Amino acid sequence: MEDDESEESEDDESEESEDDESEESEEDESEESEEDESEEMEDDESEEMKDDESEEMKDDESEEMEDDTKLMKPPSSFTPELRSESTQVSYRFRCPGPGGFQCTSTGLVFVMDQEAELLYRTVQWDESLLQSAGKAAAGPLISIQCPEDAVRQLHLPHCETKDALLSEGLLSVVHITDDGMSVIDPLEITDTHVIVKVPHLSCFGLVWAWELLLRLLDNKKPISCQVLLFRPPNQITRKQSLNVHLLPSNVLLDEVKAKQEDCVLIRKPSKCTLIKNQTYTVHCPKAHKVQPQKDDFDLDFGPNYPPTFEIILPANIEETTVAVRDQAETAVWECEVHLPVHLPGPGPAGTPSVSAGTPSVSAGTPSVSARTPSVSARTPSVSAGTPSVSARTPSVSAGTPSVSAEEKLKSVRTQFIDRVSGPVLRELLDKLLDCEVLTGGEMESAAATTGRAEKAREVIDMVRRKGPAASSALIDVLCEVDPYLSSQLDLT
Where does a domain end: 289, 307, 338? 338
Nearest to 492 by CA among 313, 241, 210, 278: 241
Per DSSP (E only), the strands in 73-201 are 76-78, 81-85, 88-95, 99-103, 109-112, 116-123, 135-145, 151-157, 171-177, 180-184, 188-189, 193-197
Range of the domain at 304: 222-338
CA-wise closest residue to 127 among 169, 181, 90, 194: 181
Residue 398 lies in a domain: no
* Residue 48, in any domain of the structure: no
Residues 182 and 270 both lie in one domain: no
pLDDT at residue 395 greater than cutoff 90? no
Q: What is the pLDDT of residue 362?
A: 36
Question: Is position 37 within any domain?
Answer: no
Please tell me whether residues 212 and 229 are part of one structural domain: no
CATH of residue 112's domain is: 2.60.220
Q: Per-residue pLDDT for 44 more than 80? A: no
pLDDT 10s digits, 439-492: 888 888 888 887 888 888 889 989 988 888 899 889 988 988 888 888 888 887
Q: How many CB atoms lie within 10 A of CB 308?
A: 23
Between the two ends of the chain, the Cα-to-Cα distance in Å is: 144
**C-alpha to C-alpha distance for 100 and 73, rounded to whole angstroms:** 8
> Do residues 211 and 81 both lie within one domain?
yes
Assess whether 87 and 208 both reside in one domain.
Answer: yes
Contact between 382 and 375 under an 8 Å Cβ cutoff? The reply is: yes
Compute the half-sphere exposure of residue 246: CA atoms within 13 Å on the CB side of its CA. Answer: 30
Domains identified in the chain, total number: 3
pLDDT exceeds cutoff 90 at 280:
yes
Higher-pLDDT residue of 437, 58: 437
Q: Which has more confidence, 203 or 164?
A: 203
More confident residue, 318 or 86: 318
Q: What is the pLDDT of residue 96?
A: 92
- CA-CA distance, 199 to 215, in Å (whole number)? 31
Q: CATH number of the domain that 446 lies in?
A: 1.10.533.10
**Which value, to the nearest 10 degrees, does the dihedral of the CA atoms of residues 290, 245, 255, 336 take?**
90
Alpha-carbon distance of 123 to 143, in angstroms, equals 7
> Would you place residue 355 in the very low, low, confident or very high pLDDT band (cuts 50, 70, 90)?
very low
Return the minimum-mean-pLDDT range out of 130-134, 138-142, 189-193, 369-373: 369-373
429 assigned to some structural domain = yes
Task: Please compute the mean of the pLDDT values over residues 161-176 and round it to a whole number.
Answer: 82
pLDDT band, residue 33 (cuts 50/70/90):
low
Same domain, 206 and 255: no
**Nearest-angstrom CA–CA distance, 478 and 157:** 36
Which among 202, 218, 234 is the end of a domain? 218
In-domain check, residue 192: yes
Nearest to 140 by CA among 254, 230, 236, 228: 254
Task: Tell me whether residue 190 is in a domain.
Answer: yes
Q: Give the per-residue pLDDT at 155.
A: 96
Check whether the bond before 292 is cis (ω within 30° of 0). yes
- Domain membership of residue 318 (yes or no) is yes
89 with 198, same domain: the answer is yes
Regarding whether 228 and 180 lie in a shared domain, the answer is no
Q: Strands 151-157, 193-197: parallel, antiparallel or unpaired by DSSP?
A: antiparallel
Q: Are residues 131 and 201 in the same domain?
A: yes
In a domain, 383, yes or no: no
Least confidently predicted of 36-45, 222-231, 371-380: 371-380
Give the helix/strand (H/E) hosting 40. helix 2-69
For 273, phi then psi, to 5°, come to -125, 125
Separation between Cα atoms, residue 91 and residue 83, nearest integer Å:
6
Model confidence at 68: pLDDT above 90: no
Q: Is 336 helix (H, G, I), strand (E, B) or coil?
A: strand
Over residues 44-62, the mean pLDDT reads 53
Q: Is the pTM of this model over 0.85?
A: no
pLDDT at position 189 over 50 = yes
What mean pLDDT do residues 127-132 have?
88
**Which tens digit of pLDDT belongs to each residue from 286-297?**
999 999 999 999
- Tell whether the model's pLDDT for residue 62 goes beyond 60: no
CA dihedral (48, 49, 53, 58) in degrees, to 10, reads 0
Mean pLDDT of 370-393: 37
Specify the range with the lowest mean pLDDT, choosing from 229-238, 299-308, 332-341, 482-491. Answer: 229-238
**CATH code for the domain in which residue 308 is found:** 2.60.40.2660
202 and 278 co-located in one domain: no
Distances (CA, A) of 59 to 54, 63, 66, 472: 9, 6, 11, 72
On whether both 234 and 324 belong to a single domain, the answer is: yes
Q: d(Cα 461, Cα 467) in Å, to the nearest integer?
A: 11
Of the residues 172, 190, 218, which one is the last residue of a structural domain?
218
CB hemisphere CA count around 47 (13 angstroms): 6
DSSP string, 226-260: EEEEEEPPP-SSSEEEEEEEEEETTS-HHHHHHHS
Q: Is 51's pLDDT higher than 70?
A: no
E strand map for 268-326: 271-275, 279-283, 289-291, 295-296, 309-314, 319-325
Give 228-251 pLDDT, tens digit per residue: 999 988 655 678 899 999 999 999
- Residues 310, 417, single domain; the answer is no
Supply the mean pLDDT for the chain: 77
The pLDDT assigned to 32 comes to 55
| Residue 45 predicted with pLDDT over 70 | no
Residues 80 and 206 in one domain: yes
